[in-house]
Structure 1
Amino acid sequence: MANRKWRESGYPARLAEKLPDGVVRCHLSPRNCKIRPGQHGFCMVRANRGGELVSLNYGRSVHATEETIETEAVFHYEPGARILSMGNIGCMLNCDYCHNWKTSQARFVEDKDVFHYTPEEVVDIAERHGIQVISWTYNDPVVWHEFVSETARLASDRGIVNLYKSAFFISPEAVAELLPVIDIFSISIKSMDPKYYRRVTKGWIEPVLEATEQVYRSGRHVEVSTLMVTDLSDTEQNARDMARFVGERLGPEVPTHFVRFHPDYKMTDTVRTPVERLERARRVALDMGLEHVYLGNVYDTESTNTWCRSCGLLQITRYGLNARLVGLTPGGACAGCGTDARVRRLPHPAAPPAVLPDLPAGERHDSARFDWHGDIRAVHVRVVNTADSPRAVFHRRLRRDHPDTGWTRIPMAPRESYRFISAQSFDDETGVVVAVPDGCTSSLHQVFDRAHFPTTEASAGTVNADVTPLPRYVRPSR
């Protein structure tokens, strides 16, 4: 539910050191912030209350949202899996191009974007909708440490996989607490240039690389990505440095993603990364010996697919945020030659939601349609059951060449608010239609590239859909 007083309560924080005069030091990130009574750390969501370190964002979240695992730059763990994405408030960095700046920078957070969940509620949502992966994502889960750790442990006990999508500016002690409960790490290395890190992210690179190595040595599944910012980090040298780090300090088998940038936050006076620069970066990394290199935030390219490294068989096709297994065994081997594809599979994948040829007869449904346009090829759909009894809502894809796509059914508990992503999955797909019965409401929210928060309701329009999404950052007047 929405929480109007998220700044007022505190939850006991871990990784704290007490110093003289009521000062506390936070050991969650490499900043090791020294916080005086009544003050906050850099992240603005860890504070000193009466000489005790507390977390102000425990259970404070953006709306829980069903997405796909590809949203998180994870291509080698149960491709196409549905995930429950959970994001919070605050961040240990302040990147000039942040796509989630309205929630990552706590001073910009609006109460309407804040919801409250307990660990049990998060796990219950996943179980009720047949979702086997919870993703800790959006702004950055590092500053949500206590809630992530406790909820992930509960999820693990119930057989649910945990995914951690992070810039990973984190201390070794915090990583050690995550390893027992996190199964998948998707780590965003912003650049391999230390000066760039200091200037653009307000952090520093060495702890990120060390923490990434710490995860890799643990044997947990890890994939890495880097955002190729136009005319700043979209260079062959950055690609070479990234490939060298992965090949020498991790392993050439680690999936590596070069991600397309869109202008946002304080960096809107530029353009999207030219796709040919991304393709060149991928070729450089492959030539240097990396085995699995992909592009992110792009459509209509084969550089998002997976082929067998032995026989060349096409194993996984991807379009946008969707994946289809075409040459992979249930155990993660090549269907052609049996070579290990290094794709981890869930032992018992959940059945997909039911698809019906038509809407239920005898029910009246209100419908809303969203058409893909420009670079807006995904939408978050929020549906709310306002009734005291169960309901079901439906959605279907619109395709030029395949009109009979069927209606996907989503069951809704009484008074439930649910949010899910629909992203273009075929080149002939033109949009999506949502149908809700009496007692339910729906709203559509545009998503730019990979999912971000907050999203803008479709009726608000766009500001140049090919470049920068809403809301736009307004620099303070001097």
Structure 2
Amino acid sequence: MKKWQEEGYPARLQDSLGDGVVRCRLSPRNCRIRPGQHGFCMVRANRDGQLVSLNYGRSVHATEETIETEAVFHYEPGARILSMGNIGCMLNCDYCHNWKTSQARFVADSDVFYYTPQEVVDIAVRHGIKVISWTYNDPVVWHEFVTETAALAQARGIVNLYKSAFFISEKAVEELIPVIDIFSVSIKSMDPKYYRKITKGWIEPVLAATEQVYRSGKHLEVSTLMVTDLSDGEDSARDMARFVGERLGPEVPTHFVRFHPDYKMTNTTRTPVDRLERAREIALDMGLDHVYLGNVYDTDSANTWCRRCGELQITRYGLNARRPGLTAEGTCANCGTDARIRRIPGAVPERPTTPGLPSSIRHETAGFDWQGDVRAVHIRVRNDAAETRSVYHRRLVTDGAHTDWTRIDLRGGESYRFIAAQSLPGETGVVVAVPPDCTSSLHQVFDRAHFPTTDADAGTVNADVTPLPLYVRPIR
């Protein structure tokens, strides 16, 4: 047994079937679990006749990102978020880009961090972050920790975002709705056969749960991964647009997301961008109001224009957003039309910047040059001193230019992880500077909502296409 599996936390949504057998009611699988056994997710188990969660408080490293990372374009664009991911999943998608943590049997103790609900909220407050995102592998199997922590966050005025494939029961959604403010649902395909074969789940409860959220009035955005030569055709776009337009509403932001080869599906290529652009055209022609592309740079199809006067309201490049034509109230700055962009009330803090570094800082101790489609890194910094220390990072631009340094303050003993993503076409990379009693490491991010477990200096499988570690099929 791995260390992270040793302790169980009482789980909700269970039935007792007698003779010590329990049924888990968290996902549509309704796993029937005998004493000593696990459910499909491998993180909910029967211990002495009681259902327990083995991943309560077990997490990958908490990471500061931007809200665009989660396929959310219509809620406080550009906001910094605290991304929290856990261990296990109720699906097993052949192309999963977080398989090292989503599939519990592959989880290494070294990749697991331990947090209490209060510690998660304290991290967000300490770093001036207004949104906690439950993300990466999938938050469904983290149900108890998510709901309890989200309630604490709400009490501190923090918004909760739930990024999920949403293979979940109706009762579990009922428990989420009071504490979650934003739902970003990844609908893998509209083809039932595809769902069964590729995800090992089934589509009907996903669509029902998505409709349940829509009826609740909570902020909802949906996305679908366009897998090369599998789900990137025009029919896939039409089916998705039809579902959104007829069973949700045409105002729901819809994202067509570019795929990269990973896990069991590496013998292929990234989705051709022209197929994604065509999918967007089809969805717009079918009456959807807000349709975007994901994991695509250098395209206007990630921007938002006023649906009345055509004013450019929001520009997006990669995982970054600017709001040249949007008011603080979420209306068009030109004509006053409601942009259907929800804003967080009050000021949203930004990181302080400075043109130069203190003399105590070692200059540019680590760096990364954007390469191909890898245009983001997670930067992990750790303060080994007992007192507060400041670390810095800045962007490099063509012709040797650079931005000011952004400062992040770390309390004594704190480990922190944050994303740096290319924000302009002329940007070439990022550099990090830390004092002598701090350390840093870099981790390449392959597309949004990917949590890398391997250091950048380990290289990649095939440049900018498939990240390490490489899944090795077992010999039968």
Q: TM-score range by the shorter chain?
A: over 0.9
What is the aligned partner in structure 1 of residue 254 from structure 2?
256
Counterpart of 2:425, as a letter, is D
CA distance in 2, matches of 1:106, 1:457: 21
Give % identity.
Answer: 79
Which residue of 2 is the match for residue 49 of structure 1? 47
Match status 1:140 vs 2:109: no
The answer to whether the 8 Å contact 2:394/2:402 transfers is no
TM norm structure 1: 0.98
- CA distance in 2 between counterparts of 1:10 and 1:362 reads 45
Find the residue that maps to 1:444 and give its secondary structure.
strand
Q: Does 1:210 align with 2:198?
A: no
Is the alpha carbon distance of 1:282 and 1:219 closer, same or farther for their aligned partners in structure 2, counting shifts above 3 Å? same
Q: CA–CA distance in 2 between the matches of 1:87 and 1:336?
A: 39
The within-5 A match list for 1:71-470 is 71-365=69-363, 367-400=365-398, 403-470=401-468
- Deviation track 1:44-93 (CA, whole Å, cap 9, x = no partner) reads 00000000000000000000000000000000000000000000000000
**Mind listing any 5+ residue stretches in structure 1 that lack a counterpart?**
none
TM (normalized to structure 2)? 0.99
The CA distance in 2 between the partners of 1:418 and 1:27, in whole Å, is 35
8 Å Cα contact 2:395-2:402 kept in structure 1:
no
Distance 2:250 2:287 in 1: 6
Q: CA deviation at 1:363?
A: 4.3
Q: How far off is 1:360 after superposition?
A: 1.4
Corresponding residue for 1:13?
Answer: 11
Cα distance, 1:223 vs. partner? 0.1
The equivalent of 1:32 in structure 2 is 30
SS in 1 for 2:4: coil
1:464 shift after superposition? 1.3
Looking at structure 1, the residues matched to 281 and 452 of structure 2 have their Cα atoms a distance apart, in angstroms, of: 34
Q: Give the structure 2 partner of residue 59 of structure 1.
A: 57
1:278 partner SS: helix
What is the CA-CA distance between 1:282 and the residue it aligns to? 0.2
Distance 1:190 1:373 in 2: 28
Name the SS for the 1:177 alignment partner.
Answer: helix
**Count of matched residue positions in the alignment of Structure 1 and Structure 2:** 476
Instruction: Please give the alpha-carbon distance, in whole angstroms, between the structure 2 residues aligned to 1:428 and 1:385.
Output: 32
* Structure 2 Cα separation of the partners of residues 137 and 450 of structure 1: 11
Q: Which residue type is aligned with residue 474 of structure 1?
A: V
Q: Are the equivalent residues in 1 in contact too, given 2:256–2:293 (CA < 8 A)?
A: yes
Distance 2:452 2:338 in 1: 39
Q: Report the AA paired with residue 322 of structure 1.
A: N
What SS does the aligned partner of 1:437 have?
A: coil
Give the Å deviation of 1:454. Answer: 3.4
Report the 3-state secondary structure (helix = DSSP H, G, I; strand = E; otherwise coil) of the residue aligned with 1:28: coil
Alpha-carbon distance in 2 for matches of 1:349, 1:18: 49
Q: How far off is 1:462 after superposition?
A: 1.4
Taking only aligned residues, the RMSD between alpha carbons, in angstroms, comes to: 1.1
> Which has the higher mean CA deviation after the structures are superposed, 320-329 or 346-355?
346-355
CA distance in 2, matches of 1:404, 1:201: 43
- Alpha-carbon offset, residue 401 of structure 1: 5.6
* In structure 1, C-alpha distance between the alignment counterparts of 2:424 and 2:453, rounded to whole Å: 23
